[in-house]
Amino acid sequence: MSVRKLKPITPGQRFRVVNGFDTITTDKPEKSLLAPKKRSGGRNNRGKMTMRYIGGGHKKRYRIIDFKRDKNGIPATVKSIEYDPNRTAFIALLSYADGEKRYIIAQSGLKVGQTVISGKGATPDVGNTMLLSEIPLGTTISCIELHPGQGAVIARSAGSFAQLMAREGKYATVKMPSGETRMILVTCMATIGVVSNSDHQLLVSGKAGRTRWLGRRPRTRPVVMNPVDHPMGGGEGRSSGGHPRSRNGIPAKGYKTRSKTKASNKYIIERRKK
């Protein structure tokens, strides 16, 4: 993976840093795994804007991703590594021995022609999905289930990964991408390796219009609003806005909103770093 800095031939390209896409092998997606993606523009069923700063953007089609990896014991060959407009990570097209095709989140180092497999008895190689009970301790993992059979919900974005720290009884201790250390059932599945496209964090859009292409409209800062619109609004001239808080008055920057009686608190060994 690499990034490219463009020549400043226009103002929008002066600071732009783009992805090199050197790991992408095709620009044509698998038609059978595409689905339509409807846009709401932030409006509800009555046409009223209920979410601000959403609208416009390029038309997309959704790629159906196999997060469950439930074709156990059937080897699959990586046919291509592709770009997905709906996520930061790249995706890989798998062709199984029985002829079925599926998309998965591509791990860093996954190559075309490589064979991957999931389920019991799989080897801890990049791209293979295994039970947490079978993965060697200290292994870097991603696309982790939180409940058995749920499908991957943790460490799915570009460059993210977790680490399997320990196992005791029916629980495995996993260090999350956030720094939190948490217990997860050993019957949950995880994929070996780091999620692809780790250079995503180095990209620079270069101009405001490129953010509009992604479907995001300009965000108004709360301190420039009126008091009727936001708790941080109002004041004469350039007022600081007082204590940072949300539109509903909930303090930001350090205020804990997590419930003290939440059921999953008992599974968290160490909270994420501030």
Task: Quote the pLDDT of residue 241.
Answer: 87
In a domain, 39, yes or no: yes
Structure-token pair, residue 192: 């070996």
Task: Quote the pLDDT of residue 273.
Answer: 78
Longest dimension (CA), the chain: 70
Task: Quote the pLDDT of residue 114.
Answer: 96
Confidence of residue 1 (pLDDT cuts 50, 70, 90): low
In a domain, 133, yes or no: yes
Q: Is the pLDDT of residue 111 over 90?
A: yes
User: What distance in Å separates the CA atoms of residue 166 and residue 138, rounded to the nearest whole number?
Assistant: 8
Tens of pLDDT, residue by residue over 218-228, are 999 999 999 99
Mean pLDDT along residues 200-212? 96
In a domain, 160, yes or no: yes
Tens of pLDDT, residue by residue over 132-177, are 999 999 999 999 999 999 999 999 999 999 999 999 999 999 999 9
Segment holding 4, helix H or strand E: strand 3-5
Measured CA to CA in angstroms, residue 108 lies from 48, 152, 159, 196 at distances of 42, 17, 8, 4
- What's this model's pTM, rounded to 2 decimal places? 0.92
Confidence of residue 121 (pLDDT cuts 50, 70, 90): confident
With beta carbons less than 8 A apart as the criterion, state whether 82 and 67 touch: no
User: What distance in Å separates the CA atoms of residue 156 and residue 142, rounded to the nearest whole number?
Assistant: 7
Task: Quote the pLDDT of residue 34.
Answer: 97
Say which CATH number the domain at 153 has: 2.40.50.140
In a domain, 25, yes or no: yes
In a domain, 271, yes or no: no
In a domain, 177, yes or no: yes
Mean pLDDT along residues 117-124? 93
* DSSP letter assigned to residue 142: E
Mean pLDDT of the chain: 95
* DSSP letter assigned to residue 218: P
Mean pLDDT along residues 82-100? 96
Domain containing 32: what range? 3-200
With beta carbons less than 8 A apart as the criterion, state whether 57 and 213 touch: yes
Number of domains in the chain: 1
In a domain, 91, yes or no: yes
User: What distance in Å separates the CA atoms of residue 178 and residue 138, rounded to the nearest whole number?
Assistant: 17
Outline where 11-62 has alpha helix (H): none
Percent of the chain with pLDDT over 70: 99
In a domain, 226, yes or no: no
Q: Is the pLDDT of residue 274 over 70?
A: no
Percent of the chain with pLDDT over 90: 95
State the burial class of residue 104 (Cβ atoms within 10 Å of its Cβ: 0-12, 13-18, 19+): buried
User: What distance in Å separates the CA atoms of residue 230 and residue 233, rounded to the nearest whole number?
Assistant: 5
Segment holding 93, helix H or strand E: strand 91-96
User: What distance in Å separates the CA atoms of residue 199 and residue 170, rounded to the nearest whole number?
Assistant: 36
Q: Is the pLDDT of residue 13 over 80?
A: yes
